[in-house]
Amino acid sequence: MSIPSPPSSSNPLNLVDVRERLNAEAKKLGFSGLRVSMPDLSKAKLDLQKWLKAGHHGEMKWFERSVELRTNPQQLVPGTVRVISVTLPYSAENGAPAKQILKDKERAYISRYALGRDYHKVMRHRLAKLARTLSILSGTPPGRVFCDSAPVMEVEIASQSGLGWRGKHTLLLNRTEGSWFFLGEMYTTIPLPADPPSTQHCGTCSACMDACPTGAIFAPYQVDARKCIAYLTIEHPGSIPETLRPMMGNRIYGCDDCQLFCPWNKDPEPQTCPEDFANRENLDSGHLLKFFNWSEAEFNARLAGSPIRRIGYQRWIRNIAVAIGNGPKNEFTLQALRSALMKHSDPMVLEHVEWALQRLQKAS
Ligand code: B12
Ligand code: SF4
C-alpha cells in the first residue's frame, strides 16, 4: 500500500476512498469478506438473556458476567461508532473427506477448522495489520480487534453487516462460501459508510437440525450448548453425560455435522485458505488408538500452536476414550483401555475409560 498523507483541513478524510483501500488490504491479507455495520443488539440481548436463563450455556459461566459488554460495543470500547467484520476461510476439504472419516469408527474425527494452526492467532495477527492500515489512512489510533475470545456477538454483528445470514444452526453462511469461515472484528471510531444486512436463504430447509447427532439444535436458530458435541468435547470441563456419549461417535474434538449436511456447504466456491490451516500430525484421519497412546509431553509438543492444545491432555484422553467405547470391540481396543486404567490417575479420565471398557465388554 502506498502511504497516504494524513488527513488535514486541506486534505479531509474521504471515507469512500478509505473503505476502498481497506477492502484491497483485506483481500491481500487473505480475508474473503469485509463489511461494516453499526449493529443494533437490542433484540439479540433479549434472546441471549433467555438463552442464559434456560441454562443453555452450561458451564460457560463467563457468559453471565458479560451480557452488557457483549451487547453494547460502545461499552466494550468507548468511542466505537462502527464495527468492521471480516471472514477468514478454512476448508472442509482440508485433509481426508470428512463424511468418510465420520463413518470409520477406528479413526478420530476432528473438526475441520482445527486441523492446523490456532485460528485465534492467525485471525488476530491479520486483523492487527488491517487495523494499522486503517490507522494510517485515517490518522487515528488503531481500533481494537477481536476473534472469538472477547465479549462480542460476532454472528449477530456480521449478519447485520451483510456478510451473510444466520442459518438455523445459528452460524453465519453466505452464497459463495457456505459457512466455512471464521469471523473477526475491528471496533472503530471512524464513521465508515455502513453496509446493508443480507437476506435470509434457508427457507423451509432443516438439514442442519436433522443432521445434528444429539438434537442440540432444539428449535430453528437455537442451540442448547450442553448437548452440542463441540461444547462437550471442547468447553465442558467434567464428566460427559452418559446418555450423550454414544451419540458422539468418533468425534473427539468439535463437530461439523450441522455444516457438513447444509446444502449451502455442498459446493462452496474454492477459496484461498491460509497455509496456517493446513492439516498437520495426521489430524484429519489419525487412528484413535494412536492419539490415545500419546503421552502428555507428546500431546503438548505435537499440538503446539494448535487450538486442540487449549483443551489440555485430560479432556483429550477423555474424548478419545468415549470414541473408542463407541467403536469396534477387538483385542487392540480392549488392551488399550485396560492399559489406560493403569497409566492414568485423573478420576474424570478413569471414569470415561471404565465406561468405554464396560461398553465394549457388553458388546457382542
Ligand atoms: C459460545 C460459542 C459456542 C458454543 C455455543 C454455540 C452457540 N450456538 O451459541 C459451542 C461450544 C457449542 C460452539 C460450537 C461451535 N462453534 Co462457536 N462460538 C461461540 C461464541 C464464542 C459465542 C456464541 C454466542 O454468543 N452464543 C450465545 C447464543 C445466545 O447466541 P446464538 O446461538 O448466536 O443466539 C442468537 C440467535 O440464535 C438468536 N436466538 C436465540 N434465541 C432465539 C429464539 C428465537 C425464537 C429466534 C428466532 C432467535 C433466537 O438470537 C441470539 C442472539 O443473537 C462465538 C464467537 C463469538 N464471540 O461470537 C463462536 C462461533 C459462533 N463459533 C464458531 C464455530 C466455527 C463453531 C463450531 C462450528 C465449531 C465446531 N466445528 O465444532 C460449532 C458449531 C455449533 C453450533 N451449531 O453453534 C464460529 C462460527 C463462524 C460462522 N461461520 O458463523 C464463531 C463465530 C467463532 C469465530 N470467531 O469464528 N460455539
Ligand atoms: S456442531 Fe454437531 S452437535 Fe453441535 S449443533 Fe452442530 S451438529 Fe449438533
With respect to residue 326, please indicate whether it lies within any of the assigned structural domains: no
Q: Cα(90)–Cα(94) distance, rounded to whole angstroms?
A: 8
Q: Is the CB of 223 under 6 A from ligand 1?
A: yes
With respect to residue 189, please indicate whether it lies within any of the assigned structural domains: yes
Query: For position 137, what pLDDT does the model report?
Result: 93
The 10 Å Cβ neighbour count of residue 206 is 13
pLDDT band at 267 (very low <50, low <70, confident <90, very high): confident
Range with lowest mean pLDDT among 10-14, 181-185, 233-237, 320-324: 10-14
With respect to residue 260, please indicate whether it lies within any of the assigned structural domains: yes
148 catalytic per annotation = yes
Q: At what angle do helices 312-325 and 347-362 cross, to 10 degrees?
A: 10
- Determine the structural domain holding residue 84 and report its residue range: 15-286
- The pLDDT tens digits of the residues spanning 100-157 come to 999 999 999 999 999 999 999 999 999 999 999 999 999 999 999 999 989 999 999 9
Ligand 1: residue of 161, 223, 251 to mutate (most ligand atoms within 8 A of CB) is 223
pLDDT of residue 200 exceeding 90, the answer is yes
With respect to residue 307, please indicate whether it lies within any of the assigned structural domains: no
Q: Cα(4)–Cα(183) distance, rounded to whole angstroms?
A: 29
Q: Cα(13)–Cα(207) distance, rounded to whole angstroms?
A: 47
State the ligand closest to the CA atom of 69: 1
Query: For position 93, what pLDDT does the model report?
Result: 84
Query: For position 8, what pLDDT does the model report?
Result: 64
Which residue out of 47, 104, 148, 195 is catalytically annotated? Answer: 148
Alpha-carbon separation of residue 348 from 96, 244, 319, 322, 361 (angstroms): 31, 16, 11, 12, 20
Cell digits of residue 297: 509431553
With respect to residue 201, please indicate whether it lies within any of the assigned structural domains: yes
With respect to residue 301, please indicate whether it lies within any of the assigned structural domains: no
Cα(13) to centroid of ligand 1, in Å? 36
With respect to residue 304, please indicate whether it lies within any of the assigned structural domains: no
Query: How many domains, the chain?
Result: 1
Using CA positions, which residue lies closest to atom 73 of ligand 1? 230
Output the average pLDDT for the chain.
Answer: 95
Following DSSP, what letter does each residue of 214-270 receive, concatenated? T--EEETTEE-GGG-HHIIIII--SPPPTTTGGGGTTEEE---HHHHT-GGGSSPPP
With respect to residue 140, please indicate whether it lies within any of the assigned structural domains: yes
- The pLDDT tens digits of the residues spanning 38-74 come to 999 999 999 999 999 999 999 999 999 999 999 999 9
